[in-house]
Structure 1
Amino acid sequence: MTMARPATLQDVADLSGVSRGTASRALTGGGRVSAETRARVMAVAERLNYTTNSGARNLRRARAGSIGLWLPRGLHFMEYYMNFAFGVAESVRDRELTVSLISGDFPAARAHSLHVDGFVMADVDGQDPLARAILETGRPIVASELVPPGMPQPTATVAADHATATRLVLDRLRRGGATSIAILTPEIDQTWVTGVDRTAVEWSAESGIDVTFVRLEGVPEATALHDTVCDLFETAPGIDAIVCVPEGLGVGVLSALRELGHTVPDEIQVVSYVDSPTLPIVQPPISALDLRPREAGLRAGELLISIIEEGRTAPAVELFDLIYRERGSTR
């Protein structure tokens, strides 16, 4: 069918044999529409070259047509956060929405002026003033990982089960013969980090196996990491397993252990708490936890969209499991 004017929503509805409202819901993905009806309406819209006027619709609904994505300041380069951002972007793929990345240096005092309908926030840092300001905007917010105590709470949270994952890693090391375990953790106020620490302390008390914590300021460069490993063995010479919590440390720790004459995993077992593409290809390949960042971002984005567009009442916390990938760095 050829039309002398641009097709309208009413044209799509008439040719599909449905009401204008049903056609709108079928095209936007909102409301209850059967799969058969949605497919028929989409086919007619494609045949008519119909495109929705998202700007006008957002104006009618007093919406921005965009969701904001906040990531921890200075950590955007990490593989985890890049994949998380891809997941959030994937959540809007079939909707007329955009994702706006909120710069870490955006003035906290202007958080209310951000032209977005809601926010996805990953790993909220309890010391970040912009994160606090965003949580105080009163807009729908879905956080990935729990927000630290004392901060305004989000609308909903998608969080990994770090307690179970931490116990799984430590139990695997114990079954591999570990008797003294070092855990390298970042000095940062994020609940997943404090949760790993707390669970490890509880596990140590229950198992009778020593756990030594090494606090790291940021992500150390190769020389600083080598010095950290050297200092560790001077203060705790009986260490026979290391858990690297910050992303990107596994390969550096492996290299430092080799330079110090230790063999992995015969003498020292190594586990990375965050998986990355480099860990399976080094020698030996490093065991790691897959934190499933892309899925976390996708789930957080979809949950936020459902809250904004459908008024869905979300559970306070939605948990998902992590995947442990056993490789050659553990026995």
Structure 2
Amino acid sequence: MGSLQTSRRSLLTATASFALIGVAGANDGSESDSSRESYQILEGTDHETTVYRTTASADGPTVVVVGGMHGNEVGGYEAASAIAEWDIDAGTLVTIPRANAEAVELGTRSGDDGIDLNRQFPQGQEPTTDVARAIWNVLENHDPDIVIDLHESIGIYAGGPVDGVGQAIFHSDGAETATDADQAADTVSQNLVDEPALEFTTDTFAGPETEPSGLLVHKAARDLDAQSFLIETLSRGPALETRVQWHTRLVTDLVEEGLFEAETTPEDSSDETADGSSDETAGDADDSSDETTGAGSDGSSDETANDSDDEVIEQCPAGDA
């Protein structure tokens, strides 16, 4: 992985009150010097959700991981929930597992308002909804070095969003960021993926001249100068446990050089690799407004419609997001 800047920015105090929820032990069983806190955003509304922050005593990068931007992409928010419990050796880890809490509760891509949350982050401007502004405030308050957004899609990425964007890591512009994404994709494909068709690929979600389309990661890259990654797994076919394992391992590989010592890198949540087993995800949405056509799927009865083919729409303007 490319080297990560440490202590690049000062951590601003979040406006919400923090609730200390404990000091966890390191993954090797020894006591860790990291502390874990949580606080609520959008408190008292249908969109109320929890932000988790783990801070190590040693200097290191600040990483923000987001899940649940689309409420029917279960693997992403389940993985983010697991990541929120990680112990770290350096830096700060901020996690928003259920960013679009109302949509997660409904099991649909968007909340009752029908607004795609991951289109509400225009570059150089204020986010366009209350939920988007609350999420962006978290990022601004912590000024991250790395931002990772976790998603799922019903089809495998093949160079454009028409058939889906699954099994891919999309990243911001820059040689170091591209190398990090390539290495993470290769590691997971070699160690956790049995079927060649399910191996991960990488692509940019935006080049220097690309017009933004309101993605969180695009705004983070442009406005905060953060290394930004958007991870997409399939939402159908592989079991939920496998998809969560892919997400968590990819995030581990992207951040381990900055947050972890070698002996305390988080272990995989499962020793099983993807075998094309039937999806176990309950409550996936069946929204009719899915922009993907489902190419690359196995014809299973997974109801996850409305998956986020749109994550690279700025690079592939044929989409209607």
TM-score (normalizing by structure 2): 0.31
Q: Which has the larger radius of gyration?
A: 1
The structure, 1 or 2, with the larger RCO (C-alpha pairs under 8 Å, 6+ apart) is 2
Higher helix share goes to which structure? 1
